[in-house]
Amino acid sequence: MEIGKFYVNMSRKIYTVSELTKEIRSLLEDSFPFVWVEGEISDLRMPGSGHIYFSLKDEYTQLKCIMFRSNALNLINPPKDGMKVRVCGKVSVYEKGGIYQLYVEELYPVGIGELTVAFERLKKKLSNEGLFDETKKKKLPEFPQTIGIVTSPTGAAVKDIINITHRRFPSSKLVLNPVKVQGEGASVEIARAIDEFNQYGKVDVLIVGRGGGSLEDLWAFNEEVVARAIYRSKIPVISAVGHEIDYTISDFVSDKRAPTPSAAAEIAVPDKIELLRKTENFLDRMSDVIYKKIENLKEKLDTIEKSYGFKRSEDVLRQRFQNVDEIEKMFEMNFFHKFETIKNRLSFLELQLNLLNPDNVLERGYSISLKLPEKKVIKDSKQLKVSDKIEIKFHKGKAEGKIEKVD
């Protein structure tokens, strides 16, 4: 078909706007499933929903971006207009507006460094898995007998831990599992040492750490293998890495964070001087309680000594003896009365039994007939037939006979 200068092939697919937009969206998502983009933030909007809308631009063009609230909550630094950033996310099309945009999942200021990015990414991952959950952290023992130490045998950290522990609580025993604390393979050694202590089992608490240093120096304690070893440890773990301002992944997953190795030793064991002071205070309080108790008892004794019962104890005893005699007399009277009552009752029953005695009945002229040979008492003539033998029992003596007639 010819329309003006254009030729239309009627068999060719004709797209609707929505269909074409969806096709473009699929192509973009397949081609750019996950990309890093660097640029300058402009047109920043942060509405109450918590989502962040902005554009990334360079000297030639700009790209619309959106960061949803769930990802925005994990930002290290809040974004600002003019800030140069590096973002990563997925390219897609907003179908309603027909424009393509970047759905940002992570955002970092340029110059923050690859290690910091890796740190935040691992921190987010482990947090989502529940490794930082406060409800799962183990309680430290109050009086540990044996303390396990995972650190370098030559660093200042182990010396500080030994000195402070022996000064504060000399009876505690220290067991060192020496490891590398930086460089290649350090994280694997640290994780293995934690597992070995758990297999050994004779340790009450672990101190895992090292002295201060740069982010690169402390990186072994930011490795996932160390974090998971701390999390699965059945022994409570104190993380003591670097200086007070330094934070590592080990700090978040451990049962207790100490700002320095020296502070870890102070957390792990009580101070003997403080314990002695508390003991003395306790003894003083106990002495006061006991003294007051004795004074109260003395007052009670004074009251008893001045009482009538104590002064006239002999009179009181005589009254008690008299009461006992009266009770005894009453008991005897009740006993003999009860005895006579039972005796009279037995005599009456004996008389009743005698009246019912068959021998007494026979004495009045009656007799008892028994059928032989079973000697069964005959109560009815129907029990007999002619020629049956019977025995007749009188009050004195008996006789046998044979039935000649039954009437």
Condensed to tens digits (0 to 9), the pLDDT of residues 2-61 reads: 555 555 555 677 777 777 777 777 777 777 778 889 888 888 999 999 999 999 988 888
Arithmetic mean of pLDDT, 367-387: 82
How many of the other CB atoms lie within 10 Å of CB of 144? 20
CATH code assigned to 142-270? 3.40.50.2300
- Between CA 174 and CA 155 the distance in angstroms is 16
Mean pLDDT of the chain: 85
Confidence grade of residue 229 (pLDDT, cut at 50, 70, 90): very high
- Element (DSSP H or E) covering residue 21: helix 17-31
Q: Provide the pLDDT for residue 46.
A: 92
Mind listing the pLDDT tens digit for each residue in 274-306?
Answer: 888 888 888 888 888 888 888 888 888 888 777
Q: Do 142-270 and 17-112 fall under one CATH topology?
A: no
Lowest mean pLDDT, pick from 41-55, 107-121, 177-191, 224-238: 107-121
Q: Out of 22-26, 82-86, 340-344, pick the least confident.
A: 22-26
Q: Which range (111-115, 175-179, 333-337) has the least confidence?
A: 111-115
Backbone angles phi, psi at 165, to 5 degrees: -65, -45
Helices 186-200/224-232 angle, 10° precision: 10
100 pLDDT band, cuts 50/70/90, is confident
How many whole angstroms separate alpha carbon 228 and alpha carbon 195?
Answer: 10
Give the H or E element holding residue 360.
helix 358-363
Q: What is the number of residues in the chain?
A: 407
CATH 3.40.50.1970 fits 17-112, yes or no: no
Of 359, 171, 346, 130, the closest CA to residue 270 belongs to 171
122 close to 149: Cβ distance less than 8 angstroms: no
Domain boundaries, the chain: 17-112, 142-270, 362-402
Q: Tell me the pTM.
A: 0.53
What pLDDT score was predicted for residue 8?
Answer: 55
Strand order in the sheet with 368-371: 376-377, 368-371, 389-393, 398-402
Instruction: Provide the H-helix boundaries in 181-242.
Output: 186-200, 224-232
DSSP state of 143: S
